Structure formats: C-alpha cells, structure tokens
Chain A
Amino acid sequence: MSDTLLEIKDLKVHFPIRNDSLFGGVENYVKAVDGVSFHIEKGETLGLVGESGSGKTTIGRSILRAIEPTGGKVTFNVDDESIDLSQLSDKEMRKFRKHLQLIFQDPYSSLNPRMTVRDIIAEPLVAQKLAKGKEVDERVQEAAALCKLNVEFLRRFPHAFSGGQRQRIGIARALVSNPQFIVCDESVSALDVSIQAEILNLLMDLQEKLGFTYLFIAHDLSVVAHISKRVAVMYLGQFVELAPTKSLFHAPKHPYTEALMSAIPEVNPDIAMTPVELKGEIPSPINPPSGCRFHTRCTYTQDICKIKEPVWKEVEPGHFASCHFVDTLNLQGVEMSSPAKSPLTGKN
C-alpha cells in the first residue's frame, strides 16, 4: 500500500557568491542543500527539522522549483506517470503546479493585501484556468468551508484578519487546486500557541479527509513530531537521520538528533533539563567541515570523523543515519507516553 509519491535523488542547491568585479564572477558557492535523497509516500507526512541555516527551507522550495535546484532528480508519481520535475520547462512546470502547493510561514506577507480573500484563494484556479465562472466561486467556497472560514470573509481583504485566520486563508489557497503534495514551510511557527494547535489540527483533519501528502518543515521538534509519520533531521545541507517518528525520538542514532531533543525546553518543572552540550555554532555552509560535517560540535567526535564522511545507511528497517559510530553509541531518547505520570494531561 506504500505508494511512493515523490522520490528525491541527490538533490543539490548551490547558491553562487559573486565577487565585486565588473561582471560579478562567481567566487564560491553556498551549499544550502548538498546531496539529499529521500522519498515521500502517498498520504504520509514527512517532517523535516533542522536549525536555521540547515537548508530545510531550500529543500522544500527547490522541490516546488520556487528555487531552481542545481542538481539531482525530483520524481513525482501522478496519474500512473513518473515525471522528473527538474527537467520540466517553466511552461510545463506551470501546468503541473496544481499538484504541488506551499503553505508559508508568515501569514502576513504571504497574502496580497490588495486582493480580496476570494481572489486570493481563487488564484491557483484562475491562473491555471482550472475552473471557470461559477465553478471558481463554488470551489473557493468549498475550500474556505474546509478551512473553517466564514463565507462572509470572502469579500474582505486580508487586513481584516488575525494571524490564525490569515493562515487558514493561506491553507485554503493551497488546497483549492486539489493538490497531491503540500509543503508546509514553518507554517505554524509564527502563530500563538493556542492558534498553532488549531492550525495543526486543521492540517491533520484535511489530510485525513482529502489524502494530502505533506512535507512538514519546522524548527520545533515537538510540532514536527506531533504531525509527522517519519522525521528527517538536517544539518548543514545534508540529512543526518531519517526514521519513523517514534523510533527517531525514542532511540536516536545520530548525536545531533540527541542534542536537538535534549534542548527542547521541558514544560514539566519537576523534570530538570539536561541539554547535551553542542560546542560552538553551526559552521558556514560555504566551507562545510571535512569528514562528518557535525564533527566540530559533536561530543563523541573521534579522529576518523574529521577525515572520512560517514555513510548514509539503514540501521534498522526504515531508520537511516549517517554516523561512523551508529552501532556503538548509546544515545538518549525521549521517554514516550507515560500519561499516568504526567500531571499535564492527567487532570482535566
């Protein structure tokens, strides 16, 4: 039953850095995404976490070709066809866009303030001529209803709405063309906690109802864990670990994943935080460290890490990691569900 919707092979996005000469020769490259391979199954949510500068946003945008990938293949399986998105011309891509959508982070800048909500939601339909006349309005109203937007709202402009409502408008725009695949790029991180929960619930409901496939990008591990079936951890343009959510959080195989998880602030004041110390800061993606890219900050680093790049291998079924000591390290995960102990949900 596990149909692959999207297969990404060796995806690379390098941004040239131009020098100051008259015609701006290329001096170097920022390797934002540097050889990433993974697949996404139909109807699943793949979470993608990483710190700022890890290249997670670039991955999402380059799959949608909002940023042109430098290399690699993005194969999309739709209607019994396999299409390499990176090979499509701009015009062909435009026709294909109805299958792919993006939900932005900032609910303020992502809606054109000069268009009515109806026109904003209708944009994919009108721009690609997917519907005409009355049908446009019908589909816009349906999309709005799915996102719990009042029909009255359609006549209004974005300035009438709060952050949460705007984000729902953005989601309605994303689903109106009935896409297969939606990239959620930090889609809840700009929202207040109470609104965030509502949008997460909405995204999950829509997936259940309409069978969407999500690539859910965020820096907040708890949010990603909550919505995703599998989670990939990214560091300096590469994946360091990819596993089913429970397996990743319960038994991480990469020291970076361990460090990230230990840094999540614990809500329960009875549990003291013991963050694994990460040395220094994230290095520049222009000149990533040799060998394992994480060796400059890793607590378990040894000589081999500086020289040899670790292999991306399947440690357990479906659990991938790239670390030389994947089999020997005993890393600390998160205690899974112990509701009886937790006062937070035990009481009402």
Chain B
Amino acid sequence: MEQSKKSTQDNLLEVKNLKISFKTDEGIVTAVDGIDFSVRQGQTLGIVGESGSGKSVSTWSIMRLLPKNSIIDENSSIQFQRKSGKTVEITKLKTKSKELREIRGGEVALIFQEPMSSFSPVYTIGNQIMEAVLQHRDVTDQEAEEIAVDMLDRVGISNPRQRFKQYPFELSGGMRQRAMIAVALSMNPSLLIADEPTTSLDVTIQAQILELMNELQKDLGMSIIFITHNLGVIAQVADEIEVMYLGKILERGTTKEIINQPKHPYTKALIKAIPRLDHLGERLTAIQGDIPSPLSRPVGCPFYTRCDDVISGVCDVKMPEPTHLSDTHTVYCFLHEEKDV
C-alpha cells in the first residue's frame, strides 16, 4: 500500500529513515533506528515512549542538538520547510552554518523538562527573552523589550513588566516553564518541540501549561511536536500520536485511533497499564519483563521479548513492514500484516 496520498506540500517537516547512533565506551549504541514521520502545518504530533525509546533524540536531531559522539546515518533525511517556502535538508547542514543558526530558535524552538537549566542564572528573564528576539529579528532594543513584555503577558505571567526584571531563581517552577515558552515563542517559530515540558510540574500547574499551549497554538498557528511518556497528557494535546519503543515507531495514528482503537500489543498494554480513576480497584495489566538495554537490542520487532502475542520464528527475526489500516493509522506488527505471513 502506498503512503497516504495526501499532498506532502502541507508537511512542515518530513523525516525519513532517521537513524542515530552514539559512540560509547561500550560500543556503538543505536538510539533511533530508521524511523519516518512528518509534521503537518498547524498540527500537534505527539510522541509517546518510555525511557530508551529514542523519543528525545529523534526530535533534538531536528535542531542538530545532539552530543558530539552522535552519528546521524548518511541515508537519513530531515526535510524542513522554511518560512521562505524553501525546503532544506537539515542533515546536510554544517553544525556551525548560518542557515542552521537561523532555523534554531528562529523557526524551530525547543522547550524541555527542566526550565531552570534553560536559563542563565546571571541575567534577568527579560534580558534573555530580549536577546533571543534581537538575534533573530531586526528590531531596536526598545522594540525587543516591548516584544518580551508582550510575550510574558501572553504566556499568562502576571505583572510582566515587573517579572521582566526578575532573575530565573525568583520564579516558581510553573512560572519558569511559562517564561521558557515565552522565550521559545518570541521568535514566532513555525515548529515548537516540547520535550516533556510538564513532567516536573505539579498536576494543577501542568493543566495550566497544557491549556496555555493549546491556546497559543490556536493563536499563532505553529506546529508542535510534543514528547511525553504520559498518555493522558498526550491525549489532551496531540492531533496525531506516534508510539516509540527502543528506537522504532510501532504505531502511528490520530489520537482517537491510537487511544480508542490501539492495534499494536505495546500500545494496548501501555494504555491498560495506566491506573484510572474510573476503574478503581481493578488489577493493572503490567507488561512482563523489563525494557531491554539499548546495548542488547532485540533482533526483529523490539517489543517481542515482552509481547504476549509473540509469534516465535517471526517476530524475533525481522522488523515487520508497516500495515496501513487507514489513511492515518499505521501499525508495525505481524499480527496485522496482510495475510501473507
């Protein structure tokens, strides 16, 4: 079956056959193993995965923000459509090139889990937003300050003029996360990568941040890649969900498809493993065994070691081909492959 016939024109980002490995003392570790995904204009792509799934690595590579010992395979392709309409191949850019610098921050912005470490402790919040603005936009200091204050106001920080003069340590965790979003959005990026942005926050604050991000997306029309391990969070923000496990995508579909009709045994198990308030007292369905170490990654489907429906002699031999269940819903599992197995 052909990949969905939708025109690729409205794809802001198109990643093909992305493979990333790391050179370590213990040898070469493959963190992301040949994945494809795309992000459409104005949409939110959610990536769910547990530790070691490669969800962060695969997205940080879009900004080429990977450690020095990382290797992006030469057959990998990351096509990003710039604001000018031109499409660039990010894997081919030099790490110090002007174009990459313009894209970083200017067109692709990143927010992550620990807001404290993303700010320099010696400058005020306002200063840091201003600096970001000045770097990517042709404005005077005065205008940059206005933009910064406006941005702080927009992310729901009260007294933005006063907060502008405060240092990061003077803000609470939730406020810092808002400020980080303000920095990220001040350049009006077309793609925002949110890497577990609410994981270290309390639930009440998390709910506020999620609401804020949904609102801002409506207003600014950017695309978002939202990375998390929490299915509840992703169900609330994403249009499409991709389920990753040990460097592979196992299932992809719209949020409703993934949550309401999961097809991959891993996705099913993951959903069942969440304790839910409306099913108190029921025993949780745990997934047997542990996540294998990336150093000893299983051959074939990475999930076969823990899968209840494993077909021995098949699953442990090769990675299944994608099965397209609908235009949007794709699963990588032999259980669903056309009956030629």
Q: Touching in the complex, A and B, CB below 8 A?
A: yes
Q: Mark B278-296, 1 if CB is under 8 A from A, else 0.
A: 1111111111101101000
Tell me which residues across on chain B come within 8 A of A273, comparing CB atoms. Answer: 207, 210, 236
> Which of A195, A219, A221, A345 interacts with B277 by CB under 8 Å?
A221
Bound state CA distance, A146 and B108, in angstroms? 50
Tell me which residues across on chain A come within 8 A of B270, comparing CB atoms. Answer: 193-194
B134 at the A/B interface (Cβ < 8 Å)? no
A183 at the A/B interface (Cβ < 8 Å)? no
A40 at the A/B interface (Cβ < 8 Å)? no
Given A164-B290, A225-B280, A335-B278: A269 touches B235 (CB 8 Å cut-off): yes
> Which of A223, A268, A336 interacts with B275 by CB under 8 Å?
A223
The reply to whether A268 and B259 form a contact with Cβ atoms under 8 Å apart is yes
Q: Which B residues, 162 to 218, have Cβ-Cβ distances below 8 Å to chain A?
A: 172-175, 202-208, 210-211
Tell me which residues across on chain A come within 8 A of B293, comparing CB atoms. Answer: 162
Using CB atoms, name the residue of chain A closest to B287: A194
Using CB atoms, name the residue of chain B closest to A50: B202
The reply to whether B259 and A337 form a contact with Cβ atoms under 8 Å apart is no
The reply to whether B278 and A337 form a contact with Cβ atoms under 8 Å apart is yes
Given A222-B277, A278-B204: A194 touches B269 (CB 8 Å cut-off): yes
Residue pairs across A and B with CB atoms within 8 Å: the count is 160
Given A192-B50, A266-B236: A197 touches B280 (CB 8 Å cut-off): no
Tell me which residues across on chain B come within 8 A of A345, comparing CB atoms. Answer: 272, 279, 282
* Interface residue count on the B side (C-beta < 8 Å): 52
Q: Which B residues, 16 to 55, have Cβ-Cβ distances below 8 Å to chain A?
A: 50-51
The reply to whether A265 and B50 form a contact with Cβ atoms under 8 Å apart is no
Tell me which residues across on chain A come within 8 A of B272, comparing CB atoms. Answer: 197, 344-345
The reply to whether A263 and B203 form a contact with Cβ atoms under 8 Å apart is yes
Bound state CA distance, A8 and B270, in angstroms? 38
Q: Mark B107-128, 1 if CB is under 8 A from A, else 0.
A: 0000000000000000000000
B79 at the A/B interface (Cβ < 8 Å)? no
A246 at the A/B interface (Cβ < 8 Å)? yes
The reply to whether A281 and B290 form a contact with Cβ atoms under 8 Å apart is no
Using CB atoms, name the residue of chain B closest to A246: B280
The reply to whether B259 and A267 form a contact with Cβ atoms under 8 Å apart is yes
The reply to whether A193 and B203 form a contact with Cβ atoms under 8 Å apart is no
The reply to whether A51 and B203 form a contact with Cβ atoms under 8 Å apart is yes
The reply to whether B287 and A265 form a contact with Cβ atoms under 8 Å apart is no
The reply to whether B260 and A343 form a contact with Cβ atoms under 8 Å apart is yes
The reply to whether A260 and B278 form a contact with Cβ atoms under 8 Å apart is no
Bound state CA distance, A223 and B290, in angstroms? 20
Using CB atoms, name the residue of chain A closest to B203: A263
Bound state CA distance, A220 and B81, in angstroms? 40
The reply to whether B50 and A197 form a contact with Cβ atoms under 8 Å apart is no
| Closest beta carbon of chain B to A327's beta carbon, Å | 25
The reply to whether B236 and A281 form a contact with Cβ atoms under 8 Å apart is no
Given A339-B279, A344-B276: A265 touches B210 (CB 8 Å cut-off): yes
A264 at the A/B interface (Cβ < 8 Å)? yes
Q: Which A residues, 241 to 273, have Cβ-Cβ distances below 8 Å to chain B?
A: 245-246, 249, 259-270, 273
Bound state CA distance, A65 and B128, in angstroms? 44
> Which of B174, B211, B269, B280 interacts with A281 by CB under 8 Å?
B174
Using CB atoms, name the residue of chain B closest to A277: B208
Using CB atoms, name the residue of chain A closest to B269: A194
Q: Which of B64-72, B86-94, B136-144, B224-232 contacts A (4 or more CB under 8 A)?
A: B224-232
Bound state CA distance, A266 and B208, in angstroms? 14
30 contacts between A and B (CB under 8 A): A51-B202, A51-B203, A163-B51, A194-B270, A194-B286, A194-B287, A195-B290, A198-B288, A226-B280, A249-B280, A263-B203, A265-B207, A265-B230, A265-B235, A267-B271, A267-B276, A268-B259, A269-B255, A269-B256, A275-B207, A275-B211, A277-B208, A281-B174, A282-B202, A334-B278, A335-B278, A339-B279, A343-B259, A343-B260, A347-B261
Binding site for A on B (CB under 8 A): 50-51, 172-175, 202-208, 210-211, 229-233, 235-236, 255-256, 259-261, 268-288, 290-291, 293, 306
| 4 further contact pairs, Cβ within 8 A, besides A200-B284, A263-B203, A269-B260 | A227-B275, A264-B277, A269-B235, A342-B278
